[in-house]
Each structure stands twice: as structure tokens, then as C-alpha cells.
Structure 1
Amino acid sequence: MRITVAGLGADGRADEKVLSAARAAARTVLLAEIPNNLRENAIRYETLDSFREPDENAGGLSEAAEKALLSDGTVFIAPGDVCFDATAAKLLRSALEKGAQVSVISGGDRALCAAFRCGYADGTGGVRIHTAASFERARETDEVLVINGVETKRAACGLKQKLLKYYGAMHEVFFTDIRGNNGKIIPLFLLDSMEAYGYYTSIVLRPVPLERKARFGFYDLVAIMDRLRGENGCPWDNEQTHESLKRYLLEESYEVIEAIDEGDIKALYDELGDVLLQVVFHSRIAEQRGEFDISDVTTAICSKMISRHTHIFGDVCADTSQQVLKNWEQIKKAEKGHESQSAVLSGVPKSMPALLRSEKVQSKAAGAGMDFPGFADAVLKLHEEIGELKDALSGSGNVTEECGDLLFAAVNLVRLAGAEPETALQRATDKFIARFSAAEKSAAEQGIDMRSCGPEKLNELWDNAKKK
């Protein structure tokens, strides 16, 4: 049994190869009644609809239609490139399973056509086509990958090393010589062990199922979240809301900061992944509520980065970091419709940690000219606030308010000193913990009870800890 599957051109017209096959066919079947040039070339044809029962849904390939088409001499014609047609792909697989000889007439990529004819892969789920010289990495492994022009063994070796990052060593590769429209399936690790290579050498790789991927891309995470939040998904994930996830976003952010502070690169990329999960999680919840989806998130940040980097994507000049930051704030102010710097200050989120919020407010106020002339003036302000706190403690003021003023003045002083207040305080806290641990250990070794030994002994223990 011989079967031919073919495609009409982009203009809906069959080329001479397709016309020749149709003239010699025992039966010619067109996927659907669309404008074509078959009848004007004296070719009689049927459409797939003629094999369906009156109440049968259109689309796909029914059992009855498949049985009728799997007869010797049938030519099945789909619109466009036949390698991308799902009905043609199903018919071809069924024909191969029954031992039929299958011919494919396609005006598209010859390597994909060869893989399609052999039943190895089709383009129904998407195809990415590269040349060996330009290929760098497989961004998505859920589509068919075609790489043409594997001209030398060295090129094949380099290609193999790149592909092994994304596909397993035993992943099946369709290796083809496009001059003959044939090929064979080999494991990826043998890609650079073939007998001959040339401009005519191409490879095709099938998609990798999600559960078997060696590496994942961004949209794999999106797909995983869709499944977790989908029907028959994870009960816990389906119960979550924007509100219930707030604590996890904070926790994961702090863990990123800790990984950076500790210089732990492995932990850093792991924790960044946890933060990314939160972004995808919130986006999926919003999508299910009809609010926004992940593409709105990526569009927002990409648009923002382009609009605020006019020195890169526009014609604004900014040769220093200071100029860049100034432009950034001006553009941000215009985007948010802030007509005054007061509006900018009010826009700093109240949900920020107080230390970080106070530093950010001071920095933005300084951008409008509200700042001390120098570091010495900030020192005097700090002493002034200490004095006011002493007065409050004596009963002539609000202690909580004066404590806040003192902390605010301290943050200002640290900022003007060129340090980052949050980082400075974290390091001071870490230092205190380390010294306290040393003092506690020393007290235990000497049999001293720190709760009752008195201030003088505590100072001695502390001074000794500072020396270590």
C-alpha cells in the first residue's frame, strides 16, 4: 500500500509535484473545500467531510475516514505545509503502523519533511529552525528543533555539547542527509560519531516531555503552575490567594539576601527560583480571576526598562550612573503622574521595613534639594535628637516620637556617610550575636552566671569577646 500526503502552496495552489501525484492517484482527498487549482487541472477530488456522518463534528480524523483513506494510491492534500497539519500527521502515523509506503510532498524545510515522512516528528506543536553555525542554546525544548548545515565532525561535537545541556545523552536524534530525504535515529551522544557530514547534514530533535527535561525554561515553570492550579491539581496550591502568599514572598526575598551576604552562589540561584515561583504563582491566581496574566507582568517590566533607559533605547545622553539615576527618577515621576516631590515621597510604600523606607524617603527628598550641606551637619542633628530624647525621658516630651526622630536622624547620617543603612545594621547585629556567643561561652567556661554577675563582670566578658 502506497500513501502520499502533500500540501498546497501558501496561495492555495498545488505545485507540479502535487498535481502529478494527484493525476496518478486512485483517490485524491482534500482536507477541506478551500480555493485551489485542482479542478482547473482536470483533477477530481473528495473532501474529508464526505467521509463523516451528518452528526459528526468537523475536524480531526475519524475512524471511518481513516479506514477509507488507508487504501492503496490515496493522495491526501492539506493546506499549507503538510508537515504542520495534525490530520496529515495522524494519517501518516497510522499508515506507517500498517506498513504502508508513505511519500511526503512539502515545500518546507527538507529535514523536517524527512523526519515527518519517517514518523519521527511533525510541526503541529511548533518548530524552531536553526543553522549549526548560529545555534547557541535550546531556549524551549517543548517544540521540535531542526538544525541544518552540520558540516563537519567538529561542528557536530560542538553542537552535541550544547545540546547535552538541554537533552539527555540518550535522547533520540533524527540524523538526515537532506539530498535523499531519508535519515536514521541515533542517540544524542553519538552525534559526532557518524561517518560523513556536509552542508546537506541536518538533525531533528523531538520535544522533551516536561517530566523528563534536563533543563527548564521560564515557560516550563508557567506550565507547572498551570497544572498545579488546574483541575485535579494540588489542593494546597489551589487554596492559595494573593493575601495568603504575602509571607512567602517576603521570606523568599530575605533568603535571597542571605545567600548574597554569605556569598553562596548555589543558594542564590536556588532562592531566586523561589522568588520567581512567587511571581508566577501570583500571576496564575490573577489570570484565573480574570485580572492579568504572566504576559502582562513581563510586558510591564520590559516596557518600563525600555522607557526608563532612554540613553540605551533612545537618544538621551547619560554617561554616568548619577545621570542615569536622575533620568530614571524624572521618567518615573512623569509615568506615575506625580506633580510634586511630595507626591513622590508619599508613593514610597508604607509596607516597606521602616529602616528601608526612611532611607528611601530621605534619598528622594535629597533629590529635590532637601538635604544637609554635609556630613558634619547630620552629626549635629543626631546630637540634637539625642538631647530631645533625654528631655522626653525626663518627662517633657513624647518618648516614642523622639525615639523615631533619633532613628530617622541616624539613618540620615549613615546615608550621608555612604553606607547602606539596612546592610550596616544587619552587620552590626551579626557582630553582636558573634560577640555575645563568645562572651557566653567564656562565662560558662569560668562558671559565671551572666544574669547575676553584675555590670563590671559583664563589661569584662564583653571586652574580651571583642578582642577575639
Structure 2
Amino acid sequence: MEANQYIITVVGLGAGDLDQLPYGIYRTLKQAAHLYLRTQEHPVVAELAAENISYSSFDAIYEQHESFEDVYTDIVEKLFVSAEQQGAIVYAVPGHPLVAERTVQLLLEQGPDRGVRIEIGGGQSFIDPLFARLKIDPIEGFSLLDGTALKADQVSPGLHTIIAQVYDAFVASDVKLTLMEVLPDDFLVTVATAVGVAGQECVETVPLYELDRLDHFGNLSLVYVPPARDERISYRQFSYLKDIVAVLRSPEGCPWDREQTHQSIRKNLIEETYEVLETIDDEDPDAMCEELGDLLMQIMLHSQMASEDGYFTVDDVVATLNEKLIRRHPHVFGEKNANDSEEALANWQEIKAQEKAAKGIDTTVQSQLAGIPRDLPALMYAYKLQKKAAQVGFDWDDVADVYGKVEEEYRELREAAVEERAGELGDLLFAVVNLARFLKLDPEEALALTNNKFKQRFSYIEDKLREAGKSFEDTDLKEMDQWWEEAKQHGKRRG
């Protein structure tokens, strides 16, 4: 037989019984020389059997695979083989062939390469009787999702949501857990099975946490999630955050927010970053959650301002980040390999160099020290300067030389004239940063540890003064030094 003379005609069995089946589809089923069913678990099938219409079903395949995608792939392969052997076959699926039918999509995708023509014969979707039964107007907006592959980011709480392919309690359990990432546990959802089928219809509304406890799941089951109006749900939506920030900056919004510019809130971005770092050091996840929100607010404000000026939106920020992450991780999203962090970093650096070249930046004439943010804290800036210089060989050979340099700078500071002390102190600090690098320590983190240690010990002195009913005016350095030593011992015992 010539290419594309093999034919698979796909028809839908509808959402109800034989009385609801269009006559043209009924005739196709009755006249089919080779009829295949994705599943025989459908009200129409028993009535077809009563009329002595023969068929083959693929129900047994569901028990042979662990994933639905493997089941669908197997069914499609068997359909192609049957079509190539028999010339023309009819394949019947529940509902409409083009609504929530993965096997049909696979047939349409692969048919041309297999030399098989796929003809869609129509059918009634299960959506229509569900809309009628639940009195839903789809013009309000709805989404149709696959329960076997549901992801939280697919769920739009403001829309009517219909989840198909909820065959059994196992799928229902997965659906429940995914929905709980977006909705409260007690949110009311409806399970509708065999809608419009006399004697089989079952519609039940339950709290989300009870979804998988129902006993009437099957091939004709759907889960309906109504639009959510609860603020608890809106608060979790990124789109709601964008709306709030836009309102704050609008003429009807907050006078303070409207007055701000990129420059006026520049320092806020730095302050919020340090507040996040503080929660990390304190190992306080609740505080970290709140402070990360404050930091995100700064990003949202800058993005909103840029949007108002016509430069970019926060969606552009997200898109740019996503693109960069994928581009710079070819060992994850591409064909390159990275067996350890050093190879991954090498990939990253190579791609960064390519990006600079694409922007017209000649890295051969660019300073080796370029690329360090100039507003970094001086300690961190010094650390990065030294790392950059070390990459091209401008570095000490041995840590003993670094210790010697620290001692040299210390002597020069002690001997320096008053007007030279600032420069000499800077030289000493720079040498100490070098020592930290050789010891594989981050000087910023090391100093932060000491700052916290100082605060704790000084607080101990303050506590002792309060216990004694004294103030700093009532004590002297000797007494404070004694408490300081106590604080050191107290810290060791606690550690």
C-alpha cells in the first residue's frame, strides 16, 4: 500500500450512553471491520456489545506499565502496527478525540512519519454535560488540565478548573497534593463521575483534603475546582504581587511609593540584602522568609519603575534570568558534561566570555580586574581583586610570605606619620585579606563572626551591670574586663 494509504479513524464515544451518541459515529462503530477501544470502561461499550459489535480494548496495557505516558506510547505503537497490517482501522476513545486524549495527540504527531493518515471523526466532549450539570458559564474563563501530569504552576485559582484523567484514588491523591500547594486544605472541590449517564451519575463536593477518599473514581471522573476568591489564595500568586506594586505606584496609590526613583531607594536594596544575610547567620527560617519578601519588594519596585518608563517589566527580568540560567548550564540543559563543580564553573566562565564577545566587548584589552561590582563592601572588594589577580599568576607562592607581609604592614603602620596612617592601615587590611584567601577563609564572614562574638560578650557585660543595679558610669574597665573574660568562658561552654 502506498504512503498515507493506511488510515486510522478516531471517534469519540461521548460523555454519556448510546442515546447521546451522534448517528454518524454510531454508524462508523457499527461498520468498522477493525474496532479498537482505549478502554471498554464506558457506558456506550456495553450497549455496542449487546448489538454484537466486536472490538479489541487496550485495558490490559494499563497493568503493564508504571507511567501513563508509557501506556499511551504502547497503545499508539499497537495502533500503527494494526493499521499497517489491516489498511484501515477505527479507534474509539471516551469523550471527544481532541479533548484530554494523549494517545490521539501522539497519533497526530507521529502519523505523517509512519505513513498513516489520521482522521478525526468527532464526538461529544465530557466538558459540555459538566458545564450544564454544574451551571458553569465558560465565558468566565476556565482551564482543562490533565490529572496524571498536574503541576502546581498550571493551576490558576481565578479560573474554573476542570481536571480530567482522574481514573482512580491514586491519581486523585496526586491531584490533591498538587492542589494543596495552591489552595487551602479545606477548599471545596467537586468530583463528577459519569455526568449525564442515567443510573451512573455521581456528583459530590468535599473539602480538598478528602478528595482521594471518595469511592467512585473511574474513566468518566472529573475534578472541578471553582474560582477562588479567598485572600489567602491570592496572597500566594505572583500576579497579585505585580498588581499590588502597580497600584502602589499609581495616581491612586501611596504618595511615598509614587515619589520614589531608582536612585532614592538604591540604599534600601543594600539594607534589605544585609537583613536577609542576618537571618541566614541567625538560622531563623521564619525571619528569612519575611526578609526575602522585603528584598523581593525592592526588585518589584525597580521593575515597576522601569516598566513605567518603557524600559522593561518584571516579566522581562524573569525571562532574562531563565534564559541565562539555561544558557550557562549546558551541562544540565544541553549536551556538555560537568563531573564536578570545577568543570561546571569552567563552563560558566567560557559562556560568560562568549556573551561578552557577542556584546562587542574585547576581553583581550579588558583589564583582568574588570567585572567586580564597584559598590561591594571594601573587604569583599579586596578579596575579589586578589582572586582575579591570582588567576593570572600575580600571587604569593607560600603562605609564609603572606604572614611576612602582614607583619611588615603592621610595622609600617606603627611607624607611620599621622597623615600616612589611613593608607598604611589599608595596606595592613589588604594583607590580612590576602592571608584569609590563602587560608581558604572568607574575610567578610570571618569578621562577621567576630562582630557577633563581640556583641554577645558586650551584651553579657550589660546583663551583669543590670543584675548588679549598675550603669556604665558606676563601673570601671577592670570590672568590665573581668565580665568579658567570664563571657568568653560562658561562650566556650555553650559552644
Pick the TM interval, shorter chain: 0.5 to 0.7
Q: TM-score, normalised by structure 1?
A: 0.67
Partners of 2:137 and 2:222 in 1: CA distance: 14
Q: TM-score, normalised by structure 2?
A: 0.64
The within-5 A match list for 1:238-257 is 238-257=258-277
Does structure 2 retain, via aligned residues, the 8 Å contact 1:341–1:368? no
SS of the residue corresponding to residue 209 of structure 1 reads coil
SS of the residue corresponding to residue 244 of structure 1 reads coil
SS of the residue corresponding to residue 369 of structure 2 reads helix
Determine which of 433, 444, 461 is the counterpart of 1:411: 433
Partners of 1:427 and 1:391 in 2: CA distance: 30
The within-5 A match list for 1:92-131 is 110-111=126-127, 114-115=130-131, 118-122=134-138, 125=141, 127-131=143-147
Does structure 2 retain, via aligned residues, the 8 Å contact 1:378–1:409? yes
Does structure 2 retain, via aligned residues, the 8 Å contact 1:123–1:144? no
Partners of 1:293 and 1:108 in 2: CA distance: 43
**CA separation of 1:435 and 1:380: change in aligned 2, threshold 3 A:** same
Displacement of 1:353 in angstroms is: 1.3
Q: Which residue of 1 aligns with 2:316?
A: 296
Deviations, residues 104-154 of structure 1 (Å, cap 9, x unaligned):
xx97852366226743251653524112x3224354323332211222345
Are residues 1:463 and 2:479 paired?
no
Displacement of 1:198 in angstroms is: 0.5
Partners of 1:153 and 1:416 in 2: CA distance: 59
Q: Which residue of 2 aligns with 1:196?
A: 216
Determine which of 419, 422, 426 is the counterpart of 1:400: 422
Partners of 2:134 and 2:162 in 1: CA distance: 15
Q: Which residue of 2 aligns with 1:356?
A: 380
Q: Which residue of 2 aligns with 1:186?
A: 205
Q: Which moved more, 1:151-160 or 1:365-374?
A: 151-160
Partners of 1:300 and 1:320 in 2: CA distance: 26
Determine which of 290, 294, 307 is the counterpart of 1:287: 307
Deviations, residues 162-221 of structure 1 (Å, cap 9, x unaligned):
424423456443433356388757243454465522111012223323735176133332
SS of the residue corresponding to residue 243 of structure 1 reads coil
Are residues 1:422 and 2:437 paired?
no
Q: Which residue of 2 aligns with 1:434?
A: 456
Q: Which residue of 2 aligns with 1:137?
A: 152
Partners of 1:341 and 1:464 in 2: CA distance: 57
Aligned AA (1:129): L
Larger relative contact order, structure 1 or 2 (CA cutoff 8 Å, min sep 6): 2
Does structure 2 retain, via aligned residues, the 8 Å contact 1:174–1:183? no
RMSD: 3.6
Q: How many percent identity over aligned positions?
A: 32
Displacement of 1:451 in angstroms is: 6.8
Q: What 5-or-longer segments of structure 2 have no aligned partner?
A: 1-20, 25-97, 99-121, 491-495
Partners of 2:333 and 2:394 in 1: CA distance: 32
Q: Which residue of 2 aligns with 1:208?
A: 228
Aligned AA (1:362): Q
Displacement of 1:256 in angstroms is: 1.4
Does structure 2 retain, via aligned residues, the 8 Å contact 1:156–1:191? yes
Q: Which residue of 1 aligns with 2:176?
A: 160
Q: Which residue of 2 aligns with 1:384?
A: 408
Displacement of 1:280 in angstroms is: 1.9
SS of the residue corresponding to residue 138 of structure 2 reads coil
**CA separation of 1:117 and 1:264: change in aligned 2, threshold 3 A:** same
Q: Which moved more, 1:157-166 or 1:179-188?
A: 179-188
Deviations, residues 383-429 of structure 1 (Å, cap 9, x unaligned):
12112212324x5x621111111111111111221111111101101
Q: How many residues align?
A: 367
Displacement of 1:287 in angstroms is: 0.7
Q: Which moved more, 1:357-366 or 1:160-169?
A: 160-169
**CA separation of 1:177 and 1:278: change in aligned 2, threshold 3 A:** same
Does structure 1 retain, via aligned residues, the 8 Å contact 2:193–2:216? no
Does structure 1 retain, via aligned residues, the 8 Å contact 2:202–2:216? no
SS of the residue corresponding to residue 129 of structure 1 reads strand
Deviations, residues 273-309 of structure 1 (Å, cap 9, x unaligned):
2222222221111111101011221122122212222
SS of the residue corresponding to residue 203 of structure 1 reads strand
